[in-house]
């Protein structure tokens, strides 16, 4: 039930964000903007201190991540349904996406901070890269197994001092 309450709160915040963003100039859709908005939103959440700007940034970040997760899940399911065994490019394990959206935001912000040279890239590419590195899928190819031990018994080692005498 608590998840639905959070989802309702997030929807309300996204609506507030959408209304506020209509009056603002269009923002860049790169990693700099993504990092700024998510960092500002998470700081406000941690401090429990909100104003219009921080509420907007938090709502934008959470809404973006919810949309990303839903979109990725839908596209991945469609690809797997039409092409059994196929995976999406830069696939990552969807189990990581089952985390609460706040935790996904923290994972994304931490990854963006450790990869500052990539922040000029589009935010979707960065989000995929962050989650692919953080939530890698186990390889579908089993590692090679060692051959079973030989069934031929080894000869016993000679006992010390009992060798051939001349």
Domains of the chain, by residue range, sit at 2-134
Give the percent of the chain with pLDDT over 90: 27
Over 50: is that where the pLDDT of 119 sits? yes
Using 50, 70 and 90 to split pLDDT, how confident is the model at 86?
low
Which tokens belong to 80? 């797997």
Give the percent of the chain with pLDDT over 70: 59
**How many angstroms separate the CA atoms of 59 and 105, rounded?**
11
- Residue 77 CB-half CA count within 13 A: 7
Backbone angles phi, psi at 161, to 5 degrees: 75, 5
- 122: helix, coil or strand? strand
pLDDT of residue 117: 94
pLDDT of residue 164: 58
**How many angstroms separate the CA atoms of 109 and 56, rounded?**
17
Over 50: is that where the pLDDT of 101 sits? yes
pLDDT of residue 109: 95
Distances (CA, A) of 21 to 1, 14, 43, 110: 30, 10, 20, 26
**pLDDT averaged over every residue in the chain:** 74
Query: Which of 78-106 are b and which e, b meaning 16 or more Cβ less than 10 Å from the residue's Cβ?
Result: eeeeeeeeeeeeebbeeebbeeebbebbb
**How many angstroms separate the CA atoms of 71 and 97, rounded?**
12
The residues, ordered by sequence, that sit 6+ positions from 74 with a Cβ below 8 Å of its Cβ are: none
The pTM of the full predicted model, rounded to 2 decimals, is 0.63
Q: What is the mean pLDDT of residues 125-131?
A: 91
């Amino acid at each position: 039930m608590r998840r639905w309450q959070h989802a309702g709160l997030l929807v309300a915040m996204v609506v507030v964000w959408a209304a506020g963003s209509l009056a603002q100039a269009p923002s860049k859709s790169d990693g700099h903007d993504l990092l700024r908005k998510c960092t500002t939103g998470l700081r406000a959440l941690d401090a429990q201190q909100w104003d219009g700007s921080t509420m907007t940034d938090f709502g934008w970040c959470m809404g973006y991540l919810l949309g990303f997760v839903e979109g990725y899940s839908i596209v991945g399911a469609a690809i797997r349904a039409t092409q059994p065994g196929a995976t999406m490019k830069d696939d990552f394990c969807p189990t990581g996406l089952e985390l609460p959206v706040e935790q996904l935001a923290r994972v994304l912000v931490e990854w963006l901070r450790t990869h500052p040279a990539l922040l000029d890239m589009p935010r979707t590419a960065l989000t995929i890269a962050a989650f692919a590195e953080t939530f890698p899928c186990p390889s579908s190819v089993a590692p090679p197994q060692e051959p079973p031990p030989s069934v031929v018994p080894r000869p016993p080692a000679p006992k010390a001092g009992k060798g051939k005498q001349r």
